Structure 1
Amino acid sequence: MTLRTRTAPPRRLALAQLINSVGDGAYYVCSALYFTRVVGLSATEVGLGLTVGWAAGAVAGVPLGHLADRRGVRGTAVALAVATGAAVAVFLTVRGLPAFVLAAVLYACCQCGLGAARQALLAALVTERERTRVRAHLQSTANAGLAAGAALGGLALHLDTAAAYRAVLAADALAFLAAALVLTRLPAVPPTPPAASGTPRLAVLRDRPYALITALHAALLLYMPLLSVVIPLWVVQRTEAPRWTVAALLMLNTLGVVALQVRVARGVRDLRTAARHIRAAGVLMLVSCAAFALTTVPASPWTALAVLLAAACLQVLGETALASGAWEISFGLAPEGRQGQYQGFFGTGAAVARMLGPLLLTWLVLGGGPVGWLALGAAFLTASWAMGPAVRWAAASRPADAAAVSASGPEPAATAP
């Protein structure tokens, strides 16, 4: 995936993202089987450990993001990439539940902090009007890497040996180290001066409009465990579609984001267009959920497959629209010099979705059937349409110059060569 830009930093950010995502793609495919079949944990124990880990990560994101602001985002991002690689390596040594939970906490905290530091690094190295465009390229690159990594993980699944699974985890750890090396080649970013006397150190925790936006975004991010947990179970248990449909749907989602994310992001220019994209995402997700609900109607396997593919296509469109709008909002409403802590806070939405989503959605969708799908779609629609008023509230609470920018929108983005 080529990132067309006049400057080197976005290309190096994309290279680091690509390296990481290849390792992560292989890890995501193999990790559950490694923990259950090699380490010897039960599925319940794995779920418990990951839930505790992501809960800790959600809490750690803000202070680690603040640390990036105060100590320098490049150095912090490099250190957290190395630490995440070390956390993956620790998984190779665990032999029981307590050690696994500690390793999961370390891994999730480092991942959440790394995400915040990378977002702050992007904000510091790219002009304001190009942040969403560059972030879309990074997301497209990441999905391409995940697809390649998943193929490598599939090879390990085919071999189905402890050595193959350990090789995947070792490769993921090395990928984080390689990505850290790439990040060291980025320009240094001066740290933010200490806050003035009387100013809260973690100001984002008192920013109620931004907290509301983050909560609404977390609700919309429930599509993530929907993809990884609920839809595979739904296809196998509740439809007549062939079992390989699960792999086809995941591949469609990955390649769809690669193909569409940059194009969809071009329509986002300011906070107003960002909120409009998120409203459109809510409508698309509602229609997608309705299509998934229809797959319980008795039909031939090929008819069920066609409906599932249509529902997945709508979901990809909704996902890309949501991401494009969310990036613009998260960057645009974060004060300069505090991007680290604000991006850390905004990133808690993903951790919360990973932590609560599997349990909530299996109960709602697998337990509720078509009614559960429609209820989930209605929740997506409500959260997406509430985002516009929340963004206007947040913009109105900013200083006058920021409010002016949010009202009129920044100048049009320059066309990439």
Structure 2
Amino acid sequence: MDSRFLPARGPARSLTSATLFMTMGNGAFMTCSALYFTQVVGLSPARLGIGLSIAGLVGLLAGVPLGHLADRRGPRGTAAALVALNGVAAAGYLFVGSFVQFLLVACAFVVLERGGRAALQATLAAVLRGTELVRTRAYLRSVNNAGIALGALGAGFAIQLGSDTAFRVVLVLDALSFLVSALLLMTLPATAAAPAPAAGEPRLAVLRDRPFALVTLVSVVLSLYAVLLEIVLPLWIVRHTTAPPWLVTVLFLINTVCVVAFQVRVAKRVDDLPSAVTAFRRSGAVLLLCCLLFAVSSTGSPLVSGLLLVAGGAVHVYGEMVLSAAAWVVSYELAPPDKQGQYQGFFFTGYAASMMIAPVLLTSLLIEYGTPGWLILGAAFLLASLAMGPAVRWAARTRAHYFGSSSLPSTSLKGVS
């Protein structure tokens, strides 16, 4: 198979295959989950939303401690165990019959998902190095989008049938996808556990790392891009433009195809801290441009509005790919080699927090205030991208102070500005 879409045999191939199975199952379940919980389980939309919000809040607390567990027990085995348990939690939805049961299973599912993600990222850092690590992350993101799309397509048949059995079959396949992924993870090379913290060293050192916390905080602002396509643009197109509503599907297709086809190529250019800082700056300027294009799409004929939206969608996905590549490098390079689990857990907690606040924040800012809201968001993207340089430089300077003998693997700090 073309190497642009699948890495060579070895750890990278196994990780890619495991990700494909997980995302296909998740893509299928996410597509029909709202219908399953409201039509089959009998939850009201309001209770469903409240339960998912509570589960999301609980999940925010899981990444760091479970990532630390991966460091201490060995990331590969921990990742496989958490992914397998995530499959058990997915199967637990089959037996939900009340709101309380749904809440308990949803909390377990999200906690295991966040912990599994942190452990999986630590596994990547343990079995891969340098440019291969960054390239594999790009492969995983491409496969993630492809898997979700394939899963959603399969779920379409269940939605068309509309029966309880069809929805339950999707849940069973989702649970099995986690178990298959766990088995694939166990084919990776064994990974050693990190040594116990030295006397006086904090167990969760990331919670005392102020420079890394600042980098994560800045990334929260930049991560707001992720809900534009899924939540904001459908509402924007219907309420503020003359473009046809089906254009939302076109924008989703553009995004998915571009990530699958070009994410690996974009990531090849970002392989150390200096290039990551440059990529952050580029992504900020690009995301500002996409906000301007979306803003002016509220004017003109349906054709003009549609062309502006398509142009904005193309610019948006390029900024998304550049930003993702930069974030991967920074999150790995600034983490001590023996604490990758807790650091990746903390960094992803920032992303998860952004996803929690973004729907309310951006629908209020963009749908209620219109064009001025887009200008504010674009300026926020640009300023955050410019702030990432000083934040990364501070974090790079303080690695020895925080972590003693820990150093930045294969990265020269020269040129980080």
**Class of the TM-score when normalised by the shorter of the 2 chains:** over 0.9
Q: Deviations for 1:16-38, whole angstroms, at most 9, x for unmatched residues?
A: 01111111111221112222222
What 5-or-longer segments of structure 1 have no aligned partner?
A: 411-417
Residue aligned with 2:200, SS: coil
Note if 1:36 corresponds to 2:42.
no
- Could you tell me which residue of structure 1 aligns to residue 267 of structure 2? 265
**Is the CA contact 2:16–2:143 (under 8 Å) kept in the aligned structure 1?**
yes
**Normalised TM-score (structure 2):** 0.94
* Residue 72, structure 1, aligned to residue 78, structure 2: no
Aligned-partner residue type, residue 106 of structure 2: A
Instruction: Give the C-alpha shift of residue 402 in structure 1.
Output: 3.4
> How do residues 287-366 of structure 1 correspond to structure 2 at under 5 angstroms?
287-300=289-302, 302-366=303-367
Which amino acid in 2 is paired with 1:348? T
User: Does 1:159 find its partner at 2:161?
Assistant: yes
Distance 1:81 1:289, change over 3 A: same
Q: Does 1:17 align with 2:22?
A: no
Note if contact 1:74-1:186 (Cα within 8 Å) is conserved in structure 2.
Answer: yes
Question: Bigger CA drift: 343-352 or 27-36?
Answer: 27-36
Cα distance, 1:253–1:404 mapped onto 2, change above 3 Å: closer
- Number of the residue aligned with 1:93: 95
- CA 156–4 in structure 1, closer or farther in 2 if over 3 Å, else same: closer
Instruction: Give the superposition deviation at 1:363.
Output: 1.2
CA change 1:21–1:4 in 2 (3 A) is: closer
Deviation at 1:272, TM superposition (A): 0.9
Q: Aligned-residue CA RMSD in angstroms?
A: 1.9
Give 2:176's aligned residue.
174
Aligned to 2:203, the other structure's residue is in SS state: coil
Out of 397, 400, 407, the position equivalent to 2:413 is: 407
- Confirm or deny that 1:57 pairs with 2:63: no
1:406 shift after superposition = 3.6
Q: Cα deviation per residue 1:298-336 (whole Å; 9 max; x = unaligned)?
A: 422x33222111111011000000000000000000001
1:185, CA displacement in angstroms?
A: 0.9
Aligned to 2:140: 138
The letter for the 2-side match of 1:263 is R
Matches of 1:5 and 1:177 in 2, distance apart?
22
Give the whole-Å Cα distance in 1 for the aligned partners of 2:226 and 2:126.
28
Give the C-alpha shift of residue 390 in structure 1: 0.3
Aligned counterpart in structure 1 of residue 279 of structure 2, from 261, 277, 280: 277
Kept after mapping to 2: 8 A contact 1:26/1:152: yes
Looking at structure 2, the residues matched to 262 and 72 of structure 1 have their Cα atoms a distance apart, in angstroms, of 28
For residue 340 of structure 1, report the CA deviation from its aligned partner: 0.4
Matched with 1:194 is 196
Contact 1:270 1:409 in 2 (8 A): no
**Contact 2:333–2:409 (CA under 8 A) maintained in structure 1:** no
2:203 partner letter: R
Count of paired positions: 409
Letter in 2 for 1:211: A
Unaligned runs of 5+ in 2: none
Distance 1:111 1:21 in 2: 12
Q: CA deviation at 1:7?
A: 5.5
> Does the 8 Å contact 1:214/1:349 carry over to 2?
yes
TM-score w.r.t. length of structure 1: 0.94
- Secondary structure of the corresponding residue to residue 413 of structure 2: helix
Hey, what does 1:109 align to over in structure 2? 111
Q: Give the structure 1 partner of residue 123 of structure 2.
A: 121
CA distance in 1, matches of 2:166, 2:248: 23
Q: Percent identity?
A: 48
- Measure the CA separation in 2 of the matches of 1:102 and 1:279: 42
Alignment match, 1:376 = 377
Q: Is the Cα contact below 8 Å between 1:225 and 1:353 reproduced in 2?
A: no
Asked whether the equivalents of residues 143 and 254 of structure 1 are also in contact (C-alpha less than 8 Å), the reply is yes
Per-residue displacement from partner, 1:217-268 (whole Å, max 9, x unpaired)?
Answer: 1221112222221212222232222222122211211111111111111111
CA contact (8 A) 1:395 1:406 kept: no
